[in-house]
Amino acid sequence: MKRLAGSFGYRVYGLLLNTNVEIPGLQSCMTAGEEGADIAVTMGAFPEEIAGIIDSPAKRYYHEAGYNNTDPPHLIVNTLADGKYFHFRYGVGVQFVCDRQATVVWGWWWEHLSLTDASLYLLGPIIGFLLRLRGITCLHASSVIVDGLALAIAGPSGTGKSSLAAAFAAAGYPILTDDVLALAFDQELLYASPGYARLRLLPHSFQNIAGLPENLPALAPNWDKCYLDLTAAPYSFKYEAVPLGVVYLLDWEHTNRATPEIVPLKPATAVPYLAANTYRNELLDSSMRTEEFKFLSRVASKIPVRKVQPLDDILELLGLIELIQNDFRTYRSP
């Protein structure tokens, strides 16, 4: 696929995106004239062909209810044109359509929203799903570079992955990605691909972390999260894929202890934990789940997987960094 005149190119999550507009947050990932984009992205309108089939009979693929009975659904995903396309309809007023081959995606949003609002969905769940369609397994994880290797910090939403990554960034460690960690084997080495140079943070999750500003800019006017710009000094972002050394799973079920602890998992035990912490796994069909399980079994056989049981105290983040850093230097795989 050749780049069209007036378009923008970005390399993110190991993919080359060709977009019709400049995507907020991706400025530092812009490429210099690369040909052969993996995914063509059009933001702002659906083509006539797609607009014509959106309201025609569709097959329900996924439904995520609202927060309570009176809320509209948070997300509805339908398949269109006998499964040729997927249509994502978010309750906030953002919609995306992508093809099953994950080569093209269109985005549209209500008038009270902005390109910035829609781009946050594009760079998170939509690209996450496109990666899964392409057979790329992604952990729901942030990743940090220590001694030239990547460590993954995985866990469900709200468990502190990004806050811990921000503490690593403030301590001088390069960040590889936030929230979406795309993985691929190159022969016997497992590589982690870079995301883009922002950490998404809740407003009060970083204010006790030394080395971070007291205030950070909002992701968008309609969002309650803010972001740390990793292109700004003194932080750093890694733009190349890096071998993955260890996967750390955040476990908040055992926080009533005197000190934080790291617990190793045997490969057979690690696989279901990894499967529970892959990105957009609720959207996988049975064949995709089978391939994911095979991939994760190989990951667990090659890479140490360890549970991190922290203290329930945000002030202990620096001590947790030291604990993970020391453990990583002992157990890193490559």
**Model confidence at 5: pLDDT above 70:** no
CA dihedral (75, 76, 77, 82) in degrees, to 10, reads: -170
**Model confidence at 1: pLDDT above 60:** no
Q: What's the pLDDT score for residue 151? A: 97
Residue 315 is given by DSSP the state G
pLDDT in tens, 8-35: 999 999 999 999 999 999 999 999 767 7
Identity of residue 123: L
Q: What's the pLDDT score for residue 42? A: 95
DSSP secondary structure letters along 121-139? HIIIIIHHHHHHHTT--EE
**Model confidence at 312: pLDDT above 70:** no
What are the strands, taking DSSP E only, across 178-241?
180-186, 189-192, 198-201, 226-229
Rounded Cα distance, 169 and 311, in Å: 20
Mention the CATH class of domain 138-331.
alpha beta
The arithmetic mean of pLDDT across residues 217-237, rounded, is 92
pLDDT in tens, 63-73: 999 888 788 89
Residue 256: pLDDT band (50, 70, 90) is: low
Sequence ranges of the domains in the chain? 8-133, 138-331
Specify the range with the lowest mean pLDDT, choosing from 46-50, 53-57, 108-112, 170-174: 53-57
Rounded Cα distance, 331 and 292, in Å: 24
The arithmetic mean of pLDDT across residues 114-142, rounded, is 96
Q: Which residue has the higher pLDDT, 317 or 69?
A: 69
- Tell me if the pTM is above 0.95: no
> What are 118-121's contacts with CB under 8 Å, separation 24+?
118/43, 118/94, 119/23, 119/24, 119/25, 119/43, 120/219, 120/220, 120/223, 121/88, 121/90, 121/94, 121/96
The arithmetic mean of pLDDT across residues 248-268, rounded, is 84
Query: Is it true that the peptide bond before 234 is cis, omega within 30 degrees of 0?
Result: yes
> By percentage, how much of the chain surpasses pLDDT 90?
75
Specify the range with the lowest mean pLDDT, choosing from 136-140, 196-200, 231-235, 259-263: 259-263
The arithmetic mean of pLDDT across residues 89-113, rounded, is 96
